[in-house]
């Protein structure tokens, strides 16, 4: 009986080692990158990873996305921004403009596949969006300063 229990324990340890090594390979792919550019200009700007669930790793962004330090890109009023990914996602959601100090205060704007039209009113605007790959999902954030 004791021998049978030891046999099961060894089998369980071997199974667990195989499972862990398989999962670590699953999470070894780097997070996809996302950037945006002003339509008609060649300069590309990196969007920051805000949160993700990638393989077995999960990292949530701060509850105050607006107060977080991100590079601010100056853009002309009424210009159009185009978002891109490397590699392309399987699915993606809408872009949200964030208000105030809490990421839950936001409004959904255009689907990013058609491009984002920048507001006419000068000011600083923060946007977040997410996309899904086979390995998981990633949310990104970027900030712009609109000038006339």
Q: Where are the domains of the chain?
A: 33-146
Q: What is the pLDDT along the chain (148 residues), one digit of tens a residue?
A: 545 454 445 444 444 444 444 444 355 789 999 999 999 898 999 998 888 999 888 887 764 454 556 689 999 999 999 999 999 999 988 888 887 665 556 777 766 667 888 999 999 998 889 999 999 999 999 999 999 8
Report the alpha-carbon distance of residue 66 to residue 63 in Å, rounded: 9
Distance between CA atoms of residues 115 and 94, nearest Å: 11
Domain 33-146 part of CATH 1.10.3470: no
Beta-bridge mates of residue 98: 106, 126
Dmax of the chain from CA atoms? 82
How many beta carbons lie within 10 A of that of residue 23, not counting itself?
12
- Which residue, 128, 146, 134, 132, is CA-closest to 48? 128
pTM for the whole structure: 0.74
């Amino acid at each position: 009986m004791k021998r049978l229990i030891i046999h099961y324990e060894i089998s369980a340890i071997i199974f667990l080692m195989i499972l862990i090594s398989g999962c670590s390979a699953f999470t070894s792919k780097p997070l996809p990158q996302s950037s945006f550019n002003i339509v008609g200009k060649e300069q590309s700007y990196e969007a920051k990873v805000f949160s993700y669930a990638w393989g077995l790793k999960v990292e949530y962004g701060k509850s105050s996305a607006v107060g977080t330090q991100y590079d601010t890109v100056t853009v002309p009023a009424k210009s159009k921004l185009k978002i891109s990914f490397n590699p392309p996602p399987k699915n993606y959601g809408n872009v949200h403009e964030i208000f105030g100090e809490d990421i839950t205060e936001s409004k959904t704007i255009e689907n990013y596949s058609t491009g984002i039209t920048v507001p006419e009113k000068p000011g600083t605007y923060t946007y977040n969006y997410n996309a899904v790959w086979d390995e998981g999902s990633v949310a990104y954030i970027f900030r712009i300063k609109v000038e006339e």
